[in-house]
Structure 1
Amino acid sequence: MSTASTQLPEGRYGHSADERADRKLKIVGSVLGAALVVLIGWFAYHYVAGNKISAEVITFKTSGTAVQVHLEVRKDADAKGYCTVRSQAEDGAEVGRADFRFDQDASRIDKVVTLRTTSRGTTAELLGCHAD
């Protein structure tokens, strides 16, 4: 007997078990992938929409006992909150940290704040801003 006569005709008896399993895996993978994209989008939206105060360090100037930090704060006009700033020495040790409140009714605030340090700071880092 030849091998051609023992082979079943293709497509005559439906899909094989492997083809059905592959199709189910593709469907499950697609559903899980779509759910993951929706979940990431939901978290991203709530992070951006929920963060009512944001800021950035424009410039800073250091001295032996303080760091002057120019902050640009953006917030909802009615939002109140604070931003945390820190300074580190050249060796990486933290030499100062403070919270600065922003309760003005403006939506954009440019402010120079003074962070007192225990020794000469070489950096000014904005750690974050939080709404009350």
Structure 2
Amino acid sequence: MKVLKYLLHLLQLGLIYLVYLMDDLYKNHLGFMRNVSFYSHKVDSSAFGSKLFLLPLVLVLIALLLAIRKRGLESSILLILGAIFLIWQTIFRLETTPIYYLVSSILCLGFLLQLLIVSLKRS
């Protein structure tokens, strides 16, 4: 189990690198920039995009409940990741950050990996 936890933490560190990689790809590759812009505006105008702000709220509530139930470092990290995701969703917008939905999905994936780590922890 400890090996799996360390592997999941390494995946989370890889996700941090992925944010920088996506930003670099967006700035330097025109085809990637066009696709990201097209799909970002498509998601933004859809019904899913208008309700996306609810996702970090639900995830922070889940993290808060798990932090109360299972005290420990992993639960604290989960709560911090949920707060970062919530702050990202409320402060930044698609107009200011062109890779907004890519970073949002990476943060959500990092949260889900940490949720898996917390759920593997014994009570």
Q: TM-score range by the shorter chain?
A: under 0.3
The structure in which a higher percent of residues are helix is 2
The structure in which a higher percent of residues are strand is 1
Structure 2-normalised TM-score?
0.21
Give the number of the structure whose alpha-carbon radius of gyration is greater: 1
Structure 1-normalised TM-score?
0.20
